Chain A
């Protein structure tokens, strides 16, 4: 124990800010979401990002959909997919984005969907603009029974010249990069299948 000196007597033993800087806590261990995530947590409309507070977001409406499978190809039912993305101008609705004051107030940027028995999920959203220094993309996470940790990946759009220069795309071995690029099946309809393990395994990130 440190003795309090004359210099510190009469002052609080530690300033809250200072003690916080010294003490680094270990993040809590993750666990699987399990098979029983309450259905009412997948709120009606949570997979439609085109509206917020009853207002339509600016930009082009697109659909993103796909099937999630495990190693043997079996589709996964009741798996939770969440996305986070910038608005049509490439701005995130968050104070850490230096441009956040210019963000579209009618776009929230987050959505949640659960897969059905055929492993299908779908979102309606706005085509994101390219955030500074990045190609346009959508951040995706997957939570499921048997996944002890959240899996995180990034979806890119087909035909974008900026993809090859994107720092996240470049972190992926060349032979696997195409697995992160959604296929445009019809105008504005993007298929992004996820394979959690095995052949054509989706690249997931360690962050």
Chain B
């Protein structure tokens, strides 16, 4: 039994070989990708992946003496499917640079200091409304070692599982009004302007936080619809 689903609009997804991003021409397939009818392999998936890995708490900004350096913020993330229905109980992996633009990773060089109070990773499950609340510091921008002045704007990375193999997603979120957004080669690899705008979080009035932290809202749409596929 095979299934068909509508293809994504290519203009809402990034081009694969990105001018000025020197690794991309070496690693992306030269042959056209092969179309296939979908089977249970793509329409099932590790929906309960949190049973296989460890979750990591959603408060990564630290407290008191151990507070991370940077602009304190909350990210209110909401995960929905293509019908707009919340995707509850799905694992989201989040990672980001510290307030100075440095990642805790052996691959990051020493252009900016490590913050001892900031690791920069959270692994969370959405609640029934598809929501996640992350308390963090706003990431700094950072240079890419291309030697031509490319800096990544402040961004937060996400890896999401959704319900099925087809809904797996790796994406990045940007901040509104950042001067580096307009020239970022990764953000601008998405041809459609509205699709790019949807990668940018919304600043909303602070509410309820004793430290008046900044609050950003962001929605991520996973592939798939609420309806389960017809049974074979």
Interface of A toward B, CB cutoff 8 Å = 19-21, 23-41, 43, 46, 52-53, 70-72, 74, 76, 78, 82, 84, 86, 92-98, 108-110, 112, 131-134, 137, 139, 141, 143-151, 154, 167-168, 171-172, 176, 196-198, 201-207
Residues of B within 8 A of A70 (CB): 26-27
- Minimum CB distance partner of A35 in chain B: B107
Q: Does B63 contact A (CB under 8 A)?
A: no
Contact of B41 among A26, A36, A84 (CB under 8 A): A84
In Å, the complex CA distance between A205 and B35 comes to 6
**Interface assignment of B204: CB less than 8 Å from any CB of chain A:** no
17 extra interface residue pairs, beta carbon distance < 8 Å, beyond A20-B226, A205-B36, A206-B36: A23-B84, A26-B82, A28-B169, A31-B186, A35-B105, A36-B97, A41-B93, A41-B159, A71-B30, A134-B41, A146-B21, A147-B28, A148-B16, A149-B14, A150-B168, A205-B33, A207-B38
- State A134–B85 Cα separation when bound (angstroms): 31
Query: In the complex the two chains form, is B83's CB within 8 Å of A29's CB?
Result: no
Asked if A46 and B23 sit within 8 Å, CB to CB, the answer is no
Show the binding face of B for A, using Cβ within 8 Å: 1-2, 7-9, 12-16, 18, 21, 23-49, 51-54, 56, 80-85, 93, 95, 97, 103-108, 119-121, 123, 157, 159, 164-166, 168-172, 186, 189-190, 195-196, 198-199, 220-223, 226, 228-229, 231-232
B40 touches A203 (CB 8 A): no
Is A172's CB under 8 angstroms from B30's CB? Answer: no
Taken together as a complex, chains A and B put the C-alpha atoms of A141 and B157 apart, in Å, by 18
Interface of B is mostly: loop
Pick from B14, B37, B56, B81: contact of A29, CB below 8 A.
B14
A30 and B171 in contact, given A147-B27, A196-B28, A207-B36 (Cβ under 8 angstroms): yes
Instruction: With A71-B26, A197-B29, A205-B34 as known contacts, state yes or no: A28 contacts B221, CB within 8 Å.
Output: yes
B40–A38 contact, CB under 8 A?
A: no
